[in-house]
Every structure is written in structure tokens, then in C-alpha cells.
Amino acid sequence: MAGEPLIRLRGLRKSFGGLEVLKGISLDVQAGEVVSVIGASGSGKSTFLRCVNVLEMPSAGTMAFEDFAFDFEEGARRRPTAAQLRALRSRIGMVFQSYNLWPHMTVLENVVEAPIRVKGVPKAEAIAEAEALLARIGLAEKRHAYPARLSGGQQQRVAIVRALAMRPKLMLFDEVTSALDPELVGEVLSLMASLAAEGMTMLLVTHEIGFAREVSTRTLFFDGGVIAEDGPPREVLRDPKSDRLRQFLKRVLHEHAGDAAPVVPLGLAGELAGEP
Amino acid sequence: MIGEWWAGFAPYVPGFLGASWLVLVLTLLSILVSWICGLAAALAKASRFAVLRRASGFYIWFIRGTPALIQIFIVYFGLPQFGLRLSPFVAGVLALGINGGAYIAEIVRAGLSAIPKGQLESAEALGMGRLHMMSRIILPQVFRVILPPVTNEAITMLKNTSLLSVITVVELTLYSQTIIATTFRPFEFYIATAVIYLAMTTILSQAAARLERHYARYS
């Protein structure tokens, strides 16, 4: 845990109108860490993730990531410019709950669009790389299909590949299995698990408590806009320090206990399907 | 009998062709003006400035709530009172364009709001700029959504050019009226005129249907 963190956040705040959703988040993430973020809806965990690649501009706080150093305070000199934000986002991949593939482009076109037009990768090279990535997730033969022809699980895996094609330093996952049918959750989780195993730095907001326990190296529990607990997943999830986390886990695990057992990677059973 | 009918009709074929050509030119130019007005109004409606939003709202409300014929009269007969004397052709294109713009504005606004927010977000998250997102991600999808109503608008525009007969633009309708005034054969010539309009609108809607099928491949 020594050395410069990949990303350093200090005192991150975010308000929507009069409502303060993030109340000062400070966090260092080292390269290679897989950080799972859990918490009730409204706890600010998704907003937090969206602040990391500044899809939401934080109201206050600072961020250091590679050669970027931002101060989000209104009127601050180091407030990010539009060009800096584009550069930042081209190095941080994000995957969404609703996949958000572009329906008018084929799978391959979805994957190569940003590498070619944002990063300026030569077309032939981008296509070769995209095809290799698609082959890795077993969707090579779907490369000329439109997203509507794919299952939800396939679409979400393509969305992950689309983000990976930019060769990001950090990947953000925002409840990426929550919109999937239970039987399709496994294929997405196992792709994420293999990314984690390869050393990709990841921040993932999830309801998959079992996945968080098995795959992440660190778990954050968000409560009321602050990080209420932070530690190795086995400690945080097995022995919650707070009543709030204990209640939260009880609720989440109870809700999922009745679900039909899906196909699960890595021997995870039980708490799998996401909340709607 | 058909030979006799054709003998009476044949001398006017070049005139009909010319008048039909004028209909196409009027339609094309009016559509052009309507897109300029429509895009401006759609942008104004989404603007941060309340003044622009109000102006756009008023424009759409006024145009959609009054007859196109009155709007044409205002431009052609009304504006000269303020020293703005336009030729029938220019006044006609302008009036029809302004009229169509109000409908285009609503179509474009609806088209933009039909694209889920996530489409923009995923593009933004990959580092795309505004222009890139608009041109590659949003507009191609909007175009597909609005194709059917835009086609309807084009057909309406083509038919509305006949209103310009009342301000002495010798397009198809006024041309056939002038012939009827000398031949006293209103039934034949109005039917012939209708058939020509029908041919033009049919070609237009067939072309649009073909485009729609082309875009249906990804839904």
C-alpha cells in the first residue's frame, strides 16, 4: 500500500440544489486495487463514482490523477477545463447500469469509435485491437451485429470492452449487473473478475455482496454521503462496525435469499441478482 | 374519345411541366427556410435565456394557431406597409418557410428528447467533445426518429405551395386556373392537376419509406 496512489481525492463534496449528496469524501486508490462501493440507495455512492470522471462536477474538493490536479471549488484556478475533462475521461473507463451502447452502430463500430476519433489510433490498429478484445469475450462473430440483436449480458460485456479499448488506467462500474436478468449476471461478473485478476484498477458500485467479498481488495460502505466504513471486504462484510452496515447487509442478503440460484462464477452462491 | 381529350390537353403539357417544376423549387426553398427557422426555434426553446425560450414559444404558438393563408397575406400584403415590398415568389417562400419552421421546431425538440440521456453519457465518459457527440451519436439517432414526421412536413409543404396561387405565383394551381378560365373544362384540368400533385407526393413518401427501411436494420 506504499507509493503514490493512482488517484487521490480530498474533501469531495457534491450538492444538487440545496441537497448535499456527498459530504466530504477523501480516498486514495493504489494501482491494482479493486474497490467495491456498497450502500443504500441515496447514500451517494453512484454520485461519487460519477464525480471520479467528473460526469458530475463536484461542488468542492480536490483530485489528483496522473498528471491532473484539480480543485473543484467555484472559481478555483485549477478547476478543470473542458479539454482537460476530455483527456481525463479518455483515461478512465466507465460502464453503466443500462449499457448505453449506441444502437445505430455495430458492435465493432461501438468499440472503435472512441479509440479512433478521440485518441487518434489508426483505424486498422483500432479494429485489430477491438477484434482481439471481442474474441476474448467470445463475441467475435457478433462484431457486425447491431446491439439490439444481443442479449443484455452480451451488450454489457461489449460496453466493458468499449471502455477497455481506450486502454484506461482506471475502470468505474456503476451497478453494471442491476439491469440484467439473473441468469445473465454471471457472464458479466466473471469478465470483471478476470479484469481484476489481471491487475486492472477498479472502482465498482455494486449490490453483489458476494462478488464484492470474493473479488474486491477493499470495500467502502457509503452512508449519508460519507465513507462510513473502509477496509478489506472480509472484515467489513463479516464484522460490520456500525449498526447501519449490519442492517444494510441484512436487508440486502435477505432480499436476495429468495432468488433462484443463477449461474455463478467463482463459486459464489446466494446473494446475486441485483436490485431493480 | 381519349384522343380527343388528349388533343385538348397536349398544348398545355409544357406549361404543366413548367408549373410543376416551380412547385418543386418552391417546396425545396421553403423547406430550407423552414429548417433554418425550425432549428433556431428548437435551440432557442432549449436555451438558458428565458427571453429566447419565450420568443420561441410565442413563434410556435402563433404559427400553429393561425391559418397559413393569413400568414402569407401578412408577409405579402402586410409588410409593404412598413416599406418591405417582396416579390410574390420571395414572400411565398418566406411565409411558407416561417410556417413550416414552427412544426420543424416541435419535431426536432421531440426527436432530441427521445434519445435517452445515457447515450450522451456513455459518449462523454469516453472523452468525446460536444461536436463529436452531436454529429456521431445524437443526430444520427434523432434523424431516424424524426424521419416520418419530417416526411409528412415535406408533403404538407408541397401541398401548401398551392396557397401561393392567391398571391399571383403562377405555380401549378394558378396555372390550371388560368387554363380553365379559357377552356371552361374545370373537371379535367383540376383532376389533371391533382394527379400531378399526387405523383409528386407519392415519389416523396416512397423515397422516405425506402430510407426508413434502410434505418430499420438496427432496431
Nearest Cα residue in chain A from B219: A148
Q: Is the Cβ of A84 closer than 8 Å to some Cβ of chain B?
A: no
| Mean pLDDT over each residue of chain A, to the nearest integer | 90
Contact A90 B129 (CB under 8 A): no
In DSSP terms, which residues pair with A69 in a beta bridge? A64
Q: Is the Cβ of A118 closer than 8 Å to some Cβ of chain B?
A: yes
pLDDT at position A271 over 80 = no
Contact A86 B121 (CB under 8 A): no
- Pairwise CA distance, residues A123 & A146, whole Å: 20
Question: In angstroms, how far is CA B41 from the centroid of its own chain?
Answer: 16
Whether residue A161 contacts residue A192, with contact meaning beta carbons closer than 8 Å, is answered with no
Closest CA to A138 of A108, A165, A119, A158: A158
A245-260 average pLDDT score: 75
Contact B118 A162 (CB under 8 A): no
pLDDT at position A56 over 80 = yes
Alpha-carbon distance B120 to nearest alpha carbon in chain A (angstroms): 9
pLDDT value, residue A19: 93
Half-sphere exposure of B17 (CA within 13 A, CB side): 6
Contact B127 A118 (CB under 8 A): yes
pLDDT at position A224 over 70 = yes
Whether residue A32 contacts residue A4, with contact meaning beta carbons closer than 8 Å, is answered with no
Chain B, window 104-123: residues with a beta carbon less than 8 angstroms from a chain A beta carbon: 116, 118-119, 121-123
- Pairwise CA distance, residues A268 & A249, whole Å: 16
User: In this structure, which amino acid lies at residue A253?
Assistant: L
Question: Of A188-202, A248-262, B33-47, B95-109, which gets the smallest average pLDDT?
Answer: A248-262
User: Which phi and psi (to 5°) does residue B17 adopt?
Assistant: -60, -45
Angle between the B139-160 and B88-113 helix axes, to the nearest 10 degrees?
A: 150
Contact A55 B140 (CB under 8 A): no
Contact B132 A118 (CB under 8 A): yes
Q: Is the Cβ of B135 closer than 8 Å to some Cβ of chain A?
A: no
Alpha-carbon distance A3 to nearest alpha carbon in chain B (angstroms): 28
Contact B144 A104 (CB under 8 A): yes
Q: What is the pLDDT of residues A134-145, one digit of tens each?
A: 999 999 999 999
* A19-29 sheet: strands from edge to edge: A19-29, A7-16, A60-65, A68-71
Alpha-carbon distance B50 to nearest alpha carbon in chain A (angstroms): 20
Indicate the residue of A96, A114, A148 with minimum beta-carbon distance to B121: A96
Half-sphere exposure of A57 (CA within 13 A, CB side): 14
Q: What percentage of chain A reaches a pLDDT higher than 70?
A: 91
- Pairwise CA distance, residues A137 & A198, whole Å: 15
Q: Long-range contact list for B202-208, CB < 8 A, 24+ apart?
A: B204/B151, B204/B154, B204/B155, B204/B158, B205/B151, B205/B155, B208/B147, B208/B148, B208/B151, B208/B154
- Pairwise CA distance, residues A162 & B121, whole Å: 14
Size (chain B), residues? 219
Nearest Cα residue in chain B from A112: B126
Whether residue A26 contacts residue A10, with contact meaning beta carbons closer than 8 Å, is answered with yes
Confidence of residue A273 (pLDDT cuts 50, 70, 90): very low
pLDDT value, residue A2: 57
pTM of the predicted protein model: 0.82
Q: Is the Cβ of A146 closer than 8 Å to some Cβ of chain B?
A: yes
Q: Which residue do the cell numbers 434523432 mark?
A: B142
Residues of chain B with pLDDT under 50: none
Between A251 and B122, the more confident residue is B122
Q: Which of A92, A102, A170 to mutate to test the interface with B (most CBs of B within 10 A)?
A: A102
Dump the DSSP string for B46-73.
Answer: T-S-HHHHHHHHHHHHHHHHS-HHHHHH
pLDDT value, residue A21: 96
Contact A163 B124 (CB under 8 A): no
Q: Is the Cβ of A126 closer than 8 Å to some Cβ of chain B?
A: no
Q: Is the Cβ of B218 closer than 8 Å to some Cβ of chain A?
A: yes
Nearest Cα residue in chain B from A148: B219
Half-sphere exposure of B96 (CA within 13 A, CB side): 30
Indicate the residue of B122, B128, B141 with minimum beta-carbon distance to A118: B128
Size (chain A), residues? 276
pLDDT value, residue B5: 77
- Chain B residues with CB under 8 Å of A98 CB are 116, 118
Q: Is the Cβ of A120 closer than 8 Å to some Cβ of chain B?
A: no
Query: Which residues, 6+ apart, have CB-to-CB distance to A222 below 8 Å?
Result: A37, A38, A39, A43, A44, A45, A48, A228
Alpha-carbon distance A89 to nearest alpha carbon in chain B (angstroms): 5
pLDDT value, residue B151: 94
Cell of B108: 426536432
- Pairwise CA distance, residues A149 & A266, whole Å: 28
Contact A89 B129 (CB under 8 A): no
Strand ranges inside chain A, DSSP E: 7-16, 19-29, 34-38, 60-65, 68-71, 92-95, 170-174, 201-205, 218-223, 226-231
pLDDT value, residue A268: 39
Nearest Cα residue in chain B from A49: B125
Contact B129 A86 (CB under 8 A): yes
ipTM for the complex shown:
0.87
Q: Long-range contact list for A235-240, CB < 8 A, 24+ apart?
A: A237/A209, A237/A212, A237/A213
